[in-house]
């Protein structure tokens, strides 16, 4: 077990799991990254949602649930991550995980090139707790957005940015993620309330 320090490290670890196992469960991922690695465990579900796996009905909501459980523990300052059994035991075929990892290599290279430790004071414990609170609001917005094509990808992109910012201690990216997160929450509310208004009007 080694703590990843870049998106490439995360994708390499996922590739290793996909090669070693026909079915990769959430517990395998937690074990690979370590139960103190909040950044990667926020980032991975968010990135997975941005791949074709995220288009499967119900998957964005389940991934949001995983992220919410992680965010709650980050908010209260737990030093070790715990996930309930019904989450840890969920699995995906190794072949699908490998394909998802391959599709994410491009965005991973982009993130690793541009995001690294800057303005580290904005990644302190209190800023991480603020990030966790915003992430919880983003997670709450995903189930209703799932009925709108690609709408849940906005909140997940913001969550992915938070995950990278925490992992590499990039305060500038933490600020960007905060702005993206607040924007995604507002846009999600507008899309959903607009959709409801159109339905009731029809």
Domains of the chain by residue range: 7-201
pLDDT, mean of residues 5-31: 87
pLDDT, mean of residues 130-149: 88
**26-62 pLDDT per residue, tens:** 888 888 887 667 888 899 899 888 888 888 888 999 9
**What share of the chain has pLDDT > 90, as a percent?**
24
Greater confidence (149 vs 98) lies with 98
pLDDT, mean of residues 140-147: 85
Taking the complete model, does pTM exceed 0.85, yes or no?
no
Q: Which residue has the tokens 């699908």?
A: 96
The token pair at 45 is 């579900």
């Amino acid at each position: 077990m080694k703590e990843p320090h870049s998106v490439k490290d995360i994708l390499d670890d996922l590739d290793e799991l996909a090669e070693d196992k026909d079915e990769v469960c959430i517990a395998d991922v937690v074990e690979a990254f370590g139960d103190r690695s909040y950044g990667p465990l926020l980032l991975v579900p968010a990135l997975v949602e941005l791949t074709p796996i995220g288009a499967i009905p119900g998957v964005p909501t389940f991934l949001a649930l995983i992220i919410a459980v992680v965010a709650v523990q980050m908010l209260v300052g737990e030093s070790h991550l715990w996930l309930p059994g019904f989450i840890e035991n969920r699995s995906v075929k190794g072949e699908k995980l490998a394909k998802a990892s391959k599709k994410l290599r491009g965005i991973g290279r982009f993130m690793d090139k541009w995001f690294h430790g800057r303005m580290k004071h904005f990644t302190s414990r209190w800023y991480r707790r603020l990030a966790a609170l915003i992430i919880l609001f983003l997670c709450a917005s995903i189930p209703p957005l799932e009925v709108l094509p690609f709408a849940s990808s906005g909140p997940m992109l913001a969550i992915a940015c938070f995950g990278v910012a925490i992992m590499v201690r990039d305060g500038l990216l933490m600020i960007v993620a905060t702005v993206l997160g607040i924007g995604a929450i507002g846009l999600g509310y507008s899309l959903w309330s607009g959709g409801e208004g159109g339905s009731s009007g029809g």
